[in-house]
Amino acid sequence: MYIVFVYYLVSITCYCQGEVYKDYKGYKYFEIGGNQKNVERVIKHLSKNDESLIHWGSVNSSQIILAPHLISVFKDAVAKENLQTVILHNDVSEIISMEKDKSRHNTKFSWDNYYDINEIYKYLNETRTSYSKWTELIIGGESYEGRKILGLRINTPYEQGQRETGKPVFFIEAGIHAREWIAPAVATYFINQLLTSDKPDVARLRDQFDWRIFPTVNPDGYHYTHIADRFWRKTRSKSNNGCRGADPNRNWNYNWGQHSSSDNPCDYQTYAGSEPFSEVETRTLASYISGIDNLLFYVSFHSFATLLLVPYSDSTEHVDNYDELVSIGQKALDYGTRVNKERYDGPGTAAETLYKASGGSMDWVRYKLNTRLVYTFELRGSSFHWPASRIWEQGEEVTQLMLGLADGAQELGFF
Ligand SMILES: [Zn+2]
């Protein structure tokens, strides 16, 4: 009995670097169908800005994770609003502990596991050493807790006779939302593909661009999801009232604070920050991006909706080369079906296919830098937990998606 009791205590509480690991014991996970306005009313009625109520949604459905004490209030509210609910999981802690049990710390970085920030950075360092003629480490900025936003540049030398004016830059940003673990995993998978694949079209893709790939642009938040709270989304900066973090994809200086943004520093999900670029991560990354000459592609990886988005996120207005963006995006999605027949939705503006959201990196890059080819991939999945044993599937799919973007752009004469 005593042993069982001790095991129980150890299994639910981990004081990692002074942080208590939040186990989400008894939290329930629901899908809600029905009118979005009614869903919003339910969420408002519950009026919780902390992690006892975690919600997200798209046009057709919403998902919600609820602390035990909110469940009966929630059930009354959805009945009153005539909404349908399906319970996806009875105890969220089981999903989290299953994920943790699976995590192994091999000496060799692989793609059947999720890694914390230091291990990802170690992988980037080792890759840089192994491919020193093709790669360099790049620093895209810094974080509140003093980490670097570390990335890898892959820029293979020109063969003799090729033009030497500089290749077009293909920028990839992943992990801006900390809990979307599949995004950094797919980014490193793609790096590995570019460097090691024996497929001629992937080698060609590698050589066509000057790649700048940043697997975790919110390193503090990502680390926090490993040591303390699996559903953390924001940065880790400290507000005047002591609450932590801002949503780094609501913090960019374009139409800041307009849609799907909270002005409450304690909002668990979408606090937009005290002002545009209040977060050092977005401010320094924006400065890095602004310094890139010849930026052709800006691609952001999020999860999950299995959806390809084009600017703008905060308005239904179409950019001047919307048709080009859609046609190149379609090609990418066509290529994606080589790996998974269930095609991504889109391409379309976030405002039309998902919901309006302001202050995102994609909108800022498009509007302020006038970068022509800007996309956000909402990766595949039905929750933030994509099985580690299946990272390779999305890695392969993303490799094809990137190949499709490149071929689509080349056909239209972008390079
Ligand atoms: Zn996201």
Q: What is the pLDDT of residues 30-87, one digit of tens each?
A: 999 888 888 889 988 887 888 898 988 776 778 999 999 999 999 999 999 999 999 9
Where do the structural domains in the chain lie, given as residue ranges?
Answer: 28-95, 117-232+249-411
Fold for the domain defined by 28-95: Alpha-Beta Plaits (3.30.70)
**Residue labelled with tokens 């469940």:** 71
Percent of the chain with pLDDT over 70: 92
Question: Ligand 1 center to residue 242 CA distance, Å?
Answer: 24
Q: Is the pLDDT of residue 161 over 90?
A: no
Residue 6 has pLDDT above 50, yes or no: no
Lowest average pLDDT, out of 18-27, 177-186, 369-378, goes to 18-27
172 — phi, psi (to 5°)? -125, 130
- Its pTM stands at 0.93
What is the CA(18)–ligand 1 centre distance, in A?
27
Amino acid at position 336, single letter: G
Cα 177 to ligand 1 centre (Å): 5
Give the confidence band of 173 by pLDDT, cuts at 50, 70, 90.
very high
Rg over alpha carbons for the chain, rounded to the nearest Å, is 21
End-to-end Cα, the chain, rounded Å: 69
* Residue 296: strand, helix, or coil: strand
**pLDDT class of 1 with cuts at 50, 70, 90:** very low
Task: Taking each helix axis as running N to C, give the angle between helix 219-227 and helix 117-130, from 0 to 180 degrees, rounded to the nearest 10.
Answer: 120
What is the overall mean pLDDT for the chain? 92
234-243, Cβ contacts within 8 angstroms, sequence gap of 24 or more: 234/178, 234/268, 234/269, 234/271, 235/143, 235/144, 235/279, 235/281, 236/143, 236/144, 236/145, 237/144, 237/278, 237/279, 237/280, 238/144, 239/265, 239/266, 239/274, 240/265, 241/265, 241/266, 243/271
Residue 405 CA to ligand 1 centre (angstroms)? 21
Class of CATH domain 117-232+249-411: alpha beta
Residue 124 and residue 130: Cα distance in Å, rounded?
10
Residue 299 has a pLDDT of 98
pLDDT (tens digit per residue) in 82-94: 999 999 999 999 9
Q: Report the separation in Å between the CA atom of 380 and the middle of ligand 1, taken as the mean of its atom positions.
A: 12
pLDDT class of 102 with cuts at 50, 70, 90:
low
Q: Strand, coil or helix: what is 258?
A: coil
- For the chain, the farthest-separated pair of C-alpha atoms sits apart, in whole angstroms, at 76
Q: Which amino acid would we find at residue 132?
A: S
> In 166-318, which ranges are E strands?
169-174, 210-214, 295-303, 307-310
pLDDT at res. 160: 62
Centroid of ligand 1 to alpha carbon of 71 (angstroms): 26
Q: Are strands 295-303 and 169-174 parallel, antiparallel or unpaired?
A: parallel
Average pLDDT in the 351-368 region?
93
DSSP, residue by residue, 95-145: HHHHHHHH----SS--SSS---HHHHHHHHHHHHHHTTTTEEEEEEEE-TT
pLDDT class of 5 with cuts at 50, 70, 90: very low
Q: Average pLDDT, stretch 5-18?
A: 47
Q: Mean pLDDT over residues 166-187, rounded?
A: 97
pLDDT of residue 8: 42
Long-range contacts of 57-61 (CB under 8 A, 24+ apart): 57/32, 57/355, 58/305, 58/307, 58/353, 58/354, 58/355, 59/353, 59/354, 59/355, 60/33, 61/31, 61/32, 61/33
308 neighbors 347 (Cβ within 8 angstroms): yes
Bridge partners of 86, per DSSP, are 31
Read off φ and ψ for residue 68, nearest 5 degrees: -50, -40
| Ligand 1 center from residue 3 Cα (angstroms) | 41
Comparing 158 with 73, which gets the higher pLDDT?
73
333-345 mean pLDDT: 98
Q: Tokens standing for 214? A: 């940043």
For residue 193, the CA-to-ligand 1 centroid distance in Å is 24
407 CA from centroid of ligand 1 (Å):
26
Q: What value does the mean pLDDT take over residues 318-335? A: 98
**Section 336-352 average pLDDT:** 95
The one catalytic residue among 281, 378, 396, 397: 378
pLDDT tier at 357 (50, 70, 90 boundaries)? Answer: very high
**378 in active site:** yes
SS3 (DSSP) at 306: coil
Confidence of residue 2 (pLDDT cuts 50, 70, 90): very low
Distance 303 CA to ligand 1 centre (A): 6
In terms of Cβ atoms closer than 10 Å to its own Cβ (0-12, 13-18, 19+), residue 2 is exposed
Instruction: Output the pLDDT for position 37.
Output: 86
- Report the pLDDT value the prediction gives residue 9, as an integer from 0 to 100: 42
CA 283 to ligand 1 centroid distance, Å: 18
The alpha carbon of 175 and the centre of ligand 1 are apart by a number of angstroms equal to 8
Q: How many Cβ atoms sit within 10 Å of the Cβ of residue 365? A: 23
